[in-house]
Amino acid sequence: MTEMPTPIPLRDRTVDALPWLVTAAMTLATFALAFGPDWSSLPARVLMLIGFVAISAHLLRGRGRQFFNGPVAYVAAGSLLLLVVLALFANEIAPQNPYDLRQLDIMDGRLPPGSTTFDGAMTYHLGTDEQGRDILSGILYGLRVSLSVAIIATLVAMAIGVVVGIYAAWAGGRVETILMRLVDLQLSFPSILVALMLMAAFGRGLDKVVIALIIVQWAYYARTVRGTALSEARKEYIDAARGLGLPVRRIIFRHLLPNCIPPLLVISTVQIANTIVLESSLSFLGVGVPITRPSLGLLIANGYDYMLSGQYWMSMYPGVALLAIVASINLVGDRLRDTLNPRLRK
């Protein structure tokens, strides 16, 4: 009796196109909305929330119990969802539009939390800044700026990193050496330093921050993807695909690429948090987002001058919001790493 050879699977993971399509659509939507006028389209924002929930659910399908292993995971996931909702629907939730100068009253400047407007029509629950802007509204809109800048920069950097990383791994030889030397060179310098230099060269601006944050991050993804691609390329299914005479393009896009992406997802979650921190640091230093579109970092910087005289609320509350968003993303990312990383799973 002759033994039947076991067929080699062409891919070692079932690849689902859906999450990638949703991710791409969300990137475009975020991009359009962040730079468009005031994020006015409500249906688009509802769609983004659905997309966010869909991706999260897709990532965790069948692994919910593993992810939610304790109270910390519930609190982190819950607060992340809450903050995303707050950022998306700031228009509807915020008592004031902080970008609309007609709504501000300079007479209401630097009021402590709980103060009301002169006519008593509105309460400043978290106080006001020096221009009489409601801090709570500023935080909600600032949260949106911080989040969207970080998400766009991270996703675009990831796309560039994936292309470069796969290209380097596939091309090999001198191309690979040069590309990876470049990556090593960039990564040997702290991201804050590179970003500062770029902003020094570009000048401040929303688009410039995003570009600087992309340049800072791409190398990190390129290195990770090249590593994964190299180890994937050695596996049998790639050989099998090559043996079948499939075109290179098809092997890369249908076989290599989908298998390189799952490890990136975990990294990019944590990387979004790092990017928020980096952007807020740049804005705090005065070389980040413009004054017309304050992010949380810039709000903190604006209030910082008054903090030593005891008017803590202008910096403190945006600071708490920044901590909440960064910590919840990091905690979720930490749980994701434990849940999704097959090497750690027993």
Partner 1 sequence: MLVYLLRRIAQSIFVALAMMVIVFFGIYMIGNPVDILISPDATPREIEETMARFGFDQPIYIQFLTFVGNALQGDLGRSFVHGESAVTLILHYMPATLELAALGLIFSVLIGIPLGVYAGYKADRWQGRAIMTGSIFGFSLPNFWVGMLLILIFAVELRWLPSTGRGDTVDVFGIRLSIFSENGLQYMILPALTLALYKASLVTRLARAGTQEALVQDYVKFARAKGVSETRILFVHVLKNIMIPILTVLGLELGSMIAFAVVTETVFAWPGMGKLLIDSILTLDRPVIVAYLMMTVLIFIVINLVVDIVYTILDPRVRVTGGAG
For the CB of residue 192, give the shortest distance to partner 1 in the complex, in Å. 6
336 binds partner 1 (CB under 8 A): no
315 binds partner 1 per the rule CB under 8 A: yes
Nearer to partner 1, 128 or 186 (CB): 186
The H or E element spanning position 300 is helix 296-307
Nearer to partner 1, 117 or 148 (CB): 148
Nearer to partner 1, 53 or 193 (CB): 193
The kind and range of the H/E element at 116 are: strand 115-116
Residue 199 is a binding residue for partner 1 (CB under 8 A): yes
Nearer to partner 1, 171 or 200 (CB): 200
Cα–Cα distances (Å) from 273 to 100, 266, 276, 279, 282, in that order, read 29, 12, 5, 10, 14
What's the rounded Cα separation, in Å, for the pair 289 and 146? Answer: 9
Does position 211 bind partner 1 by CB under 8 A? no
Nearer to partner 1, 48 or 216 (CB): 216
Q: Does 189 bind partner 1 (CB under 8 A)?
A: yes
CB of 282 to partner 1, least distance (A): 9
Should residue 190 be labelled a site residue for partner 1 when binding is judged by CB under 8 A?
A: yes
Instruction: Work out whether 313 is an interface residue with partner 1 (CB under 8 A).
Output: no
Which residue's entry shows tokens 């929930």?
Answer: 53
Choose which of 297, 298, 314, 339 interacts with partner 1 (CB under 8 A): 297
Print the binding letters for residues 245-274 with partner 1: x by CB under 8 A, - otherwise: ----------------------------x-
Q: Which single residue is written with the structure tokens 């500062």? A: 196
Q: How many CA atoms lie within 13 A of 49 on its CB side?
A: 17
What DSSP letter does each residue of 192-231 carry, written as one string? HHHHHHHHHHH-S-HHHHHHHHHHHHHHHHHHHHHHHHHH
- Closest CB 201 distance from partner 1, rounded Å: 5
Residue 68 in contact with partner 1, rule: CB under 8 A: no
What Cα–Cα distance (Å) separates residue 87 from each residue in 34, 67, 77, 146, 327?
11, 25, 15, 9, 16
Pair 206, 146: CB distance under 8 Å: no
- State the nearest-atom distance from the C-beta of 274 to partner 1, in Å: 9
Q: Is residue 284 within the footprint of partner 1 (CB under 8 A)? A: yes
Distance CA(41)–CA(52), nearest Å, equals 17
Out of 322, 336, 339, 340, the only residue in the binding site for partner 1 (CB under 8 A) is 322
Any contact of residue 201 with partner 1 (CB under 8 A)?
yes
Q: Give the binding-site size for partner 1 (rule: CB under 8 A).
A: 38
What are 109's two structure tokens?
């400047």
Q: Where are the alpha helices (DSSP H) in 7-109?
A: 17-35, 42-60, 64-67, 71-88, 90-93
Q: Does 344 interact with partner 1 (rule: CB under 8 A)? A: no
The pattern of x and - marking residues 71 through 110 that bind partner 1 according to CB under 8 A reads: -x--------------------------------------
Could you tell me if 127 and 113 are in contact, meaning their C-beta atoms sit under 8 angstroms apart?
Answer: yes
**Would you give the DSSP letter of residue 15?**
-
Distance CA 82, CA 90 (A): 12
Q: Which residues lie near partner 1 (CB under 8 A)?
A: 72, 185, 188-190, 192-193, 196-197, 199-202, 273, 277, 280-281, 284-287, 297, 300, 304, 307-308, 310, 312, 315-316, 319, 322-323, 326-327, 330-331, 334
